[in-house]
Amino acid sequence: MKDKTKEALRNYGICVGIEMLIAFLVIWSKGFFAHSAAVNIQILSDAFFVSGILMTLFAGMMYVSQEGALIGIGFILRNVVLTFIPMGRARHEKYADYRARKLSGAKRGGICHVLVTGLVFLFIGVVFTVIWYNAFYHA
């Protein structure tokens, strides 16, 4: 296999592993085996939905961070810290210089694997919700 393919499979595997761990923790915390089938389907829906939405939101946060939206917060925090350090203001730089330095050194990694696996788990959670609604919801 090519190195790029191995790396992509590794990234997808890590993301799926993290999401399965989150789903397992949700299932474990709600006591999956102590309930009826209807409640178990609700628990599965919750588990997959929670893990999917967390990874999807994490992918969104990674995207926003890579675009440089959080650089201003880092600049402000850096200047606050430098204010309390003796002779710290001597290392002050303008925001434009700080932003250019941070964006030039930023690593532009792919977030595709995080987003795709998050959306897949989110979809599985929605499927379990639809199954529960069609089979057990009687209003």
Residue 48: its pLDDT value, please? 97
Residue 66: its pLDDT value, please? 84
| 10 pLDDT more than 90 | yes
Query: Helices 37-66 and 112-136, interaxial angle, to 10°?
Result: 150
Size of the chain in residues = 139
Q: pLDDT tens digits for 62-114?
A: 988 888 788 888 888 888 888 888 876 677 788 888 888 888 877 777 789 99
Q: Are 52 and 128 in contact (CB under 8 A)?
A: no
Residue 139: its pLDDT value, please? 61
pTM, two decimals, is: 0.80
Measured between alpha carbons, how far is 47 from 55 in angstroms, rounded to an integer?
A: 13
Q: pLDDT tens digits for 11-63?
A: 999 999 999 999 999 999 998 888 888 899 999 999 999 999 999 999 999 98
Measured between alpha carbons, how far is 70 from 62 in angstroms, rounded to an integer?
A: 10
